[in-house]
Amino acid sequence: MNSPGRRKIDYRKLVGYLLLTVGGVFGGWLLLLMTQDLATLNWSATNGIIYRAELVYTTSHPFDKNTEFFHTNIEYRYQVDNQSYLGKRVYRRDIPYLSRQEGEARLAQFTPGSLRPVAYNPSDPSEAVLVTGVSRTLWLLLAPAVLFFAIGLSLSGLLRKHPRHQTLAGKTPHV
């Protein structure tokens, strides 16, 4: 039974605010990571030599044991100002591949013994990547965040037009 002074919970708005929050926080975090990754586009470049490229099993999906994740173990050497460095990153943020085929396709681009361009951070030459910019996986992760945010915005009612200049009595004042 509802008591006279008790407000009814609007579950649609509640779910909307929840989705809005999850999408906003997750999307904001991803945009922060992507902004950092985009900085690699302005890094200095040199040549490096690939000396190791292998596919490593990372883990299986906790709910689906048939789904496996793989990580590429790619190592390369490069020089900056006569100082030798060892690099291990393809992108600034290496995220596991969702299939063996996707990982193998990446490996095919970096065969051991091949000479490849390496982008390095001029402020810290020990930080380097083989591919500048944002990885495809981060772009794909942004899609659900934007979707959650948009659905949350719609369900929460924040997009609905509210009458302007409405008084407490519910009448619009004449101007």
Q: Is the pLDDT of residue 158 over 90?
A: no
pLDDT of 139: 84
Q: How many domains is the chain partitioned into structurally?
A: 1
On whether residue 64 sits in a domain, the answer given is yes
On whether residue 174 sits in a domain, the answer given is no
On whether residue 124 sits in a domain, the answer given is yes
User: How many CA atoms lie within 13 Å of 62's alpha carbon, on the beta-carbon side?
Assistant: 0
Q: Is the pLDDT of residue 31 over 60?
A: yes
On whether residue 120 sits in a domain, the answer given is yes
On whether residue 57 sits in a domain, the answer given is yes
pLDDT of 13: 85
pLDDT of 78: 98
Structure tokens at 77: 């050497």
On whether residue 142 sits in a domain, the answer given is no
pLDDT of 15: 87
pLDDT of 164: 57
Q: Which domain holds residue 91?
A: 44-131
- Report which of 76, 19, 11, 17 is spatially closest to residue 49, judged by C-alpha positions: 76
Q: Is the pLDDT of residue 167 over 60?
A: no
On whether residue 15 sits in a domain, the answer given is no
pTM: 0.69
On whether residue 101 sits in a domain, the answer given is yes
